[in-house]
Amino acid sequence: MFPGALLDRFAERRQAAHSQDPDGFAFRASGLTKVYGDGAAAVHALRGVDLEVGRGELIVLLGPSGSGKSTLLNILGGIDRASAGVAFYESAELTAMSDRTLTAYRRRHVGFIFQFYNLMPSLSARENVDLVGEIAADPMDAVEALSLVGLAERVNHFPSELSGGEQQRVAIARAIAKNPDVLFCDEPTGALDSKTGIEVLRVLKDLNERLSTTILIVTHAAATAAMADRVMHFSDGRIREVVTNESKADPADIHW
Amino acid sequence: MIGMRMKALDLKLIRDIWRIKGQALAISLVQASGIALLVMSLGMIASLTETMTAYYDRYRFADIFAAATRAPELALEELRSIEGVSAVEGRVVGGGLVDIEGVDAPITAQFVSRSADATAPLNDVHIVRGRAPDPVRGDEILLLEAFADAHGLEPGDSLPVTVYGARRVFRIAGVALSPEYVYAIAPGALAVDDDRFAVIWASYDTLAPAFNLDGAFNEAVFRLARGVDAARVIPEIDRILAPYGGRGAYDNGDQVSNRFLSEELRQLTAMAFIMTPIFMSVTIFLLNVVISRMVQTEREQIGLLKSFGYTGGEIGAHYAKFALFIAIVGAAIGWLGGLYLGRVMTGIYQEYYRFPFLLFETDLRTIIYAAGLSVLGAGFGAITAVRAAVALLPAEAMRPPAPEFFRNAKGATKGFSLPLDRPTRMILRRIARRPFRSLALVFGIAAAMGLSVMMQFNHAAINHILHASFRVIDRSDMTVRFTEAIDEAAALELSKLDGVTHVEPFRDAAVIFVNGGKEHLGSITGVTSAPTLNRVLDDELRPAPVPESGLLLSAPLAQLLSADVGDEIEVRFREGRRPTISIEIVGLIDVMIGTPAYMSIEDLNARLMEPGRVSGAYLSVAPDARAALQRRTKEIPQLAAISVREEVLTNFEQMLSEGPGVFRVIMTFFATVIAVGVVYNGARITFAERRHDLASLRILGFTKAEAGYVVTGEIVTLAIAALPIGAVIGVLLWTYISTALSTELYQVPTVYDPAGLGVAGCTVVFAALVASFLIQKDVDKLDMASALKARD
Ligand SMILES: Nc1ncnc2c1ncn2[C@@H]1O[C@H](COP(=O)(O)OP(=O)(O)OP(=O)(O)O)[C@@H](O)[C@H]1O
Ligand SMILES: [Mg+2]
């Protein structure tokens, strides 16, 4: 799905970065907790999460609503802070980083696709992608990225002129345009019909397999789990179970 | 890529500004008002100063003036030899009357002999039309342009005058201007009156015999060498002129025309430096409200940008640029507007003050001021909002907002148990739920109203002064003034004239007050024991008894002299036998205008050892006899001037509405711009915050008007809440400004005119109604589907 030249360029960069420590972890965390509020009103969103995510792994997080999936993603993605515990990206301790370092971390390594589309309403599809390209080291062209998610025809449309699914695809194009080392997807297909959803998942799979991008996907669609390397089951702020898939399913075979 | 195409974030900036263009423009205009005011004032100050300096310099305006009764030409040699004096001239000056056919009212003339020095004359005239008088023709004169224009007199016309009771006919050779008469005001008059005051320049040989001053002069004028302090030279001059009836030399700071100009400059400066900060504060406030709200509603977008790795600095800069853009647009409009207004005002000033040329200074430094101030304002306006944006945690920002939390707490809903309809409850709950935001808006509106109130009070104060001066204090119909103090009996002859019902004589004497090291050039007015036509009233218009013996001093004069009741101060008389005596201050009086000093006429005459003398008189005249009386009085030999109270009042009013008073009109306009700007911004913000609610209400089946009421009702409620606070702010501002604008010549009375509050309140309510109308139109246009979809 990715054009060859682009793939080579992106893959090279990843390879160069990983060559020193080929089998390293992307993420390690232990005892991660997150408490919102205090006293009687305190909500324990995370109650001690330990995990390891290998480089280039595709992880799916499953669990009931309110179990803390988004919270974990936000902490690993460097947009929220844990209340206690430690988390590392490669060898850098996320939980000890200053705001400035966290910003640099997000800028260089992280891509997000959010549960809600989160586009800039005053920018067109293409400009929304440019927004990230402008601060990335070696970004994909915005039109190219939008073509990858099937929006070549709508590059100049504003969010208010796009359907929910189209908006989500712009968000995906935006996330992949910077060729992130890790990609966090919070219910990326939640608002999509199954055909579009499969397209989106195929893009993610491609990204993971051919560019070895580390990907964490939160979803309510249990079937999606089939395409993961490993599946983490959440409940009540804890990882209850981790299942390793013997063989990964192709997005085309997933139904929900 | 960068550089070739605009950055996405900057595109967002431009589109956001465009989206709220109405609001942005309103803020820019408030900003522009402040900047325009500053640029205009600075431009005018620079222009007037430059022009004055150039004019004074080119026409060699004297540094020192010294009047004497009769000094022989020989004395000039001695005066010239004073160290520091670079030039001295002796001249003849004196009063007279002009007689113009068809004009009943007596016209005061000031005669000035022209310098014999053809190469570098002091106080030189600028001939506008015609030519210089022919030295061999004794009847040729130059006439002040303002007066010539007022009567349509041209070179070649003849001009009959009365000097010392003798009638002569002069021929106008030319029409001229002089640095001495930029502000051409008759001696003792309060306002410029072009058609009642003539300055006539004639040769020494013509004037000296007319004033019995052959071979002598009665005024010496001096130019000093550069850097010489007039205070060092003046005692020398006084010493030399003392034997010749010297009345005390004074530097040009006390010269009437120059002094009025300096006052004007001082007031302009005060205005610029008081008003600009006020306007700037309002701009800062508005920017703060708008940018804070943007940051608030764009929380998610800010979080998103942060999640991409945009730094706090980059995001902060984005919002700062927003403020900066609005401020710079405001500064640009303000700068251009200020230059334009400056030009217009300068034109008005040139009409009013007679300069041969007026250099309008387009001081480019004002660009720097304008830009600097606006950047500063934008910075202050944006800082809290920008800090909030920088501090926002990305995850926090992107959490979908919880529905607003409304309590049924007693405090928030107290009084709401009244039988109110739902929309009204919505309005009141919202105001109560966000007290700080509501309070901020209320204060913004109140600040605008405060400005309005201040301008209204200013207006009222001036009317108050005029009313007090010309209706309460001075109740005469006419005032006559003699060329010198004459015998009371002669003055009382006036009462025999047809139509004169009452004559109230007065005596005044030019003096120098001295107390310790402090000196003040002024005069003492001697009044009759129970004056009825021109009374001695304090600033509250209560009669102040004039003591039988001793001085009743105006409070500002006492302050100038650091003297108080019980002190004996030294009084150097500058006329008659010119005694120097010490007089006890027996009372102080708060006054509205000037720095007067009063004594009883008997006491004053007794101390001067000139019993029974009067300088002039106030007359009460039957209305139908006034015109005839004016004609008759012109024949009185010793008459120096007659003023008709109603005419003086009209002149004042004219000066205030047409002359520099235009400045106030501009200020009032700006105050209104601010009121509308603030209220409109508040309304827009409220509207934007309530788009969802409005759409929901419309979907539920409320009519456009019913839905609009939720917003317009809030605005009107806030505007009404702002009224009392605005009144308080106005009173405080006015108290401050009236003190700051008070000068020695004018104590701006701190009167609080209830009607002014009413007018200012109406301005605010009017602004609220206009804003409501505009918002209702937005509500009418509201697209329900997109309002629910887009979070704006
Ligand atoms: N700002 C907050 N203040 C208080 N509680 C919060 C806050 N944000 C999240 N929570 C709570 O933390 C818990 C975990 O939230 P989180 O968003 O991580 O759940 P989730 O697993 O992503 O759920 P969903 O599948 O519904 O998105 C929930 O109980 C939620 O109510
Ligand atoms: Mg979630």
Does a structural domain hold residue A88?
A: no
Q: Is the CB of A69 under 6 A from ligand 1?
A: yes
Residue type at A202? R
Q: What is the pLDDT of residue A234?
A: 93
Nearest-by-CA chain B residue for A111:
B308
- For residue A61, how many C-alpha atoms fall within 13 Å in the half-sphere facing its CB? 27
Has residue B502 got a pLDDT over 80?
A: yes
Domain identity same for B539 and B549: yes
Q: What is the pLDDT of residue A21?
A: 60
Please tell me which of the candidates A99, A108, A122 has its beta carbon nearest to residue B15: A122
Q: Minimal CA–CA distance to B270: which of B747, B743, B750?
A: B743
Q: Among B403, B426, B456, give the residue marking a domain's end.
A: B403
Is-contact B410 A94, C-beta < 8 A? no
Q: Minimal CA–CA distance to A68: which of A23, A32, A30?
A: A32
Query: What are B60's two structure tokens?
Result: 């060699």
Residue A146 vs residues A152, A165, B438: alpha-carbon distances, Å: 6, 13, 44
Three-state secondary-structure class, residue A17: helix
User: Considering chain B, what percentage of its residues have pLDDT values greater than 70?
Assistant: 91
Give φ, ψ of B713 to 5 degrees.
Answer: -60, -40
Does a structural domain hold residue B481?
A: no
Q: What is the pLDDT of residue B403?
A: 47
At B102, the pLDDT band (50, 70, 90 cuts) reads confident
Does a structural domain hold residue B637?
A: no
Does a structural domain hold residue B297?
A: yes
Query: What are B616's two structure tokens?
Result: 């002039």
At A255, the pLDDT band (50, 70, 90 cuts) reads low
Residue type at B51? T
For the four alpha carbons of A90, A94, A98 and A101, in that order, the dihedral sign comes to: positive
User: Considering chain A, what percentage of its residues have pLDDT values greater than 90?
Assistant: 29
Distance from CA of A253 to the nearest CA of B (A): 32
Query: What are A164's two structure tokens?
Result: 């929910």
Q: What ipTM does this complex have?
A: 0.77
What is the total count of domains within chain B? 4
C-alpha span between A168 and A158 (Å, rounded)? 13
Q: Does B381 touch chain A (CB under 8 A)?
A: no
B109: left (phi over 0), alpha (psi -120 to 50) or beta: beta
Per-residue pLDDT of B123-151, as tens digits, reads 999 999 999 888 788 889 999 999 999 89
CB neighbour class for B756 (10 Å; exposed up to 12, middle 13-18, buried from 19): buried
- What average pLDDT does this structure show over B392-419? 56
Does a structural domain hold residue A199?
A: yes
Collect residues with CB below 5 Å from ion ligand 2: A 70
Does a structural domain hold residue B490?
A: no
- What average pLDDT does this structure show over A157-184? 87
Q: CB B790 to CB A121 under 8 A?
A: yes
Q: CB A134 to CB B8 under 8 A?
A: yes
Q: What is the pLDDT of residue B222?
A: 94
Has residue B236 got a pLDDT over 70?
A: yes
C-alpha span between A120 and A124 (Å, rounded)? 8
Does a structural domain hold residue B479?
A: no
Please tell me which of the candidates A104, A121, A131 has its beta carbon nearest to residue B8: A131
Q: Which of A70, A76, A116 to mutate to test the pocket of ligand 1 (most atoms within 8 A of CB)?
A: A70
C-alpha span between B413 and B417 (Å, rounded)? 7
Q: Does B4 touch chain A (CB under 8 A)?
A: no
Domain identity same for B208 and B78: yes
Has residue B700 got a pLDDT over 90?
A: no
| Residue nearest atom 22 of ligand 1, based on CA coordinates | A70
Is-contact B680 B23, C-beta < 8 A? yes
- What average pLDDT does this structure show over A136-164? 86
Q: Minimal CA–CA distance to B325: which of B279, B378, B373, B273?
A: B378
- For residue B443, how many C-alpha atoms fall within 13 Å in the half-sphere facing its CB? 14
Atom of ligand 1 nearest to the CA of A34: 12
Has residue B758 got a pLDDT over 60?
A: yes
C-alpha span between B674 and A94 (Å, rounded)? 50
Q: What is the pLDDT of residue B659?
A: 63
Please tell me which of the candidates B12, B308, B312 has its beta carbon nearest to residue A135: B308
Out of A36-50, B509-523, B625-639, B718-732, least confident range: B625-639
Domain identity same for B519 and B425: no
Does a structural domain hold residue A45?
A: no
CATH number at residue A128: 3.40.50.300
- What average pLDDT does this structure show over B342-366? 78
Q: Which residues of A touch B (CB under 8 A)?
A: 74, 77, 79-81, 99-100, 103-108, 110, 112, 114, 116, 118, 120-123, 127-128, 130-135, 160
Query: What are A220's two structure tokens?
Result: 């309510």
Does a structural domain hold residue B633?
A: no
Domain identity same for B322 and B419: no
Does a structural domain hold residue A15?
A: yes
Whose structure tokens read 């430690």? A86
- What average pLDDT does this structure show over B679-707? 78
Mutate to test the interface with A, among B12, B18, B301, B304 (most CBs of A within 10 A): B304
Please tell me which of the candidates A77, A118, A130 has its beta carbon nearest to residue B8: A130
CB neighbour class for B591 (10 Å; exposed up to 12, middle 13-18, buried from 19): buried
Q: Among B378, B403, B428, give the residue marking a domain's end.
A: B403
Does a structural domain hold residue B73?
A: yes
**Containing structural domain, residue A157:** 4-22+55-80+100-253
Query: What are B634's two structure tokens?
Result: 């012109």
Domain identity same for B265 and B245: no
More confident residue, B773 or B105: B773
Per-residue pLDDT of B12-64, as tens digits, reads 888 888 888 888 888 888 888 888 888 888 888 888 888 889 999 999 999 99
At A54, the pLDDT band (50, 70, 90 cuts) reads very high
Inter-helix orientation angle B704-741/B435-467, to 10°: 50
* Run of H or E residues at A61: strand A58-62
Has residue B208 got a pLDDT over 80?
A: yes
C-alpha span between B398 and B303 (Å, rounded)? 6
Nearest-by-CA chain B residue for A123:
B12
C-alpha span between A212 and B80 (Å, rounded)? 101
Per-residue pLDDT of B108-126, as tens digits, reads 889 999 876 667 889 999 9
What is the total count of domains within chain A? 1
Per-residue pLDDT of B246-269, as tens digits, reads 888 889 888 888 988 888 888 788
| Residue nearest atom 5 of ligand 1, based on CA coordinates | A36
Q: What is the pLDDT of residue A242?
A: 92
- What average pLDDT does this structure show over B646-657? 77
Has residue B1 got a pLDDT over 50?
A: no
Instruction: Tell me how far the alpha carbon of residue B465 is from its chain's centroid.
Output: 14
C-alpha span between B98 and B457 (Å, rounded)? 40
Does a structural domain hold residue B592?
A: yes
Three-state secondary-structure class, residue B478: strand
Domain identity same for B541 and B421: no
* Run of H or E residues at A207: helix A194-211
For the four alpha carbons of A17, A23, A26 and A29, in that order, the dihedral sign comes to: negative
At B177, the pLDDT band (50, 70, 90 cuts) reads very high
Q: Is the CB of A92 under 6 A from ligand 1?
A: no
How many other β-carbons are positioned within 10 Å of the β-carbon of residue B533? 21
Q: What is the pLDDT of residue B415?
A: 46
Q: Among B223, B256, B289, give the residue marking a domain's end.
A: B256
Whose structure tokens read 């100038």? B560
Q: What is the pLDDT of residue A220?
A: 86
More confident residue, B463 or B607: B607
- What average pLDDT does this structure show over B179-196? 80
| Residue nearest atom 27 of ligand 1, based on CA coordinates | A65
At B760, the pLDDT band (50, 70, 90 cuts) reads confident
Has residue A215 got a pLDDT over 90?
A: yes
Q: What is the pLDDT of residue B784?
A: 67
pTM for the full model? 0.73
**Containing structural domain, residue B558:** 500-621
SS (H, E, C) B242-305: HHHCCCCEEEHHHCHHHHHHHHHHHHHHHHHHHHHHHHHHHHHHHHHHHHHHHHHHCHHHHHHH
